[in-house]
Structure 1
Amino acid sequence: MTVVRRADQRVHETPNAVMTTLASPTLGGAAQSLWQVRMRAGQAGPDHVMDVEQVWTVVDGGMALRTTGGETVLTAGDTAVLPAGAARRIVADPERGLSALVTGAGAGRALLPDGADRGVPDWIR
């Protein structure tokens, strides 16, 4: 068993969100990564694809999940399972922002719409 203490969690801030790594291959040795995403009200992430399945659970606030199939609004307590290869964009609730827990394979790579491979994001490593 491995315990990851709060003091050991990694925080990564991008222009779109703040990700806190709770467990990953390089933090606790987990095969799956677990991280928290926090976005201010109305903040939006980039259009992208992950090459692995991800599970998103909204803890507080809400989000619009934009995929090729349309837009789905999730609020606290809702969970979305995004299959590998699914294009997505996360937009935080315009009034309440977003806090979500996300899990996926620790080697998940991010791809941009033009096919550019952004590699494994730092919060997933």
Structure 2
Amino acid sequence: MPVLSRDNAPTFNLPGICFTTLSSPSRGARENAVWEVTIAPGVSGAPHRLTREETFVALSGSAMVELDGQRFDLVAGSTLVVDAGQILSVSNVGTEPFRALAVLPVGGQAVVGDRPAFTPPWAA
């Protein structure tokens, strides 16, 4: 199915963070999972790494990104490319929600600390 409706897109919530699956294998995609992430003001992201390259396109608001110990501002209209294996956290230190699209190749997994790699449900 080439056109997927947001109306029936699966949504996953963590405290202060919402993931809306736009495309993924469970929605018929074969190569890439794409989701919208919304981070509420004042929410700090958990450090993690990915087994494949991940791309974020900032849509609105701003975020502070920590990538392998370096800090970057991610603002609407900018793009962040995270290499596989880099330690990443995305936090919203602003006063409005931060929204971005994220793209991860199918088969990419997340690793948090020393836990086993897993496929995030919004990318499955």
Give, in angstroms, the shift of residue 7 of structure 1.
Answer: 2.4
Q: TM-score, normalised by structure 1?
A: 0.92
Kindly report which structure 2 residues correspond to 1:1-125, keeping only aligned pairs within 5 A, or say none: 2-113=2-113, 115-125=114-124
Give, in angstroms, the shift of residue 103 of structure 1.
Answer: 0.3
Amino acid at match of 1:116: R
**Which SS does the other structure have where 1:26 is aligned?**
helix
Amino acid at match of 1:10: P
Question: Do 1:56 and 1:100's aligned partners in 2 also have CA atoms closer than 8 Å?
Answer: yes
* Unmatched runs of 5 consecutive residues or more in structure 2: none
Whole-angstrom distance in 1 between the partners of 2:93 and 2:4: 30
Cα RMSD after superposing both structures: 1.4
The alignment of Structure 1 onto Structure 2 pairs a total of residues equal to: 124
Give, in angstroms, the shift of residue 56 of structure 1.
Answer: 0.4
Identical-pair percentage: 25
Large movers: runs of 4+ above 2 Å? none
What whole-Å deviation, never above 9, does each CA across 1:21-71 have from its counterpart, x for those lacking one? 000111123320000000111212211111110000110001111022410
Question: Do 2:21 and 2:34's aligned partners in 1 also have CA atoms closer than 8 Å?
Answer: yes
Whole-angstrom distance in 2 between the partners of 1:62 and 1:39: 10
* Unmatched runs of 5 consecutive residues or more in structure 1: none
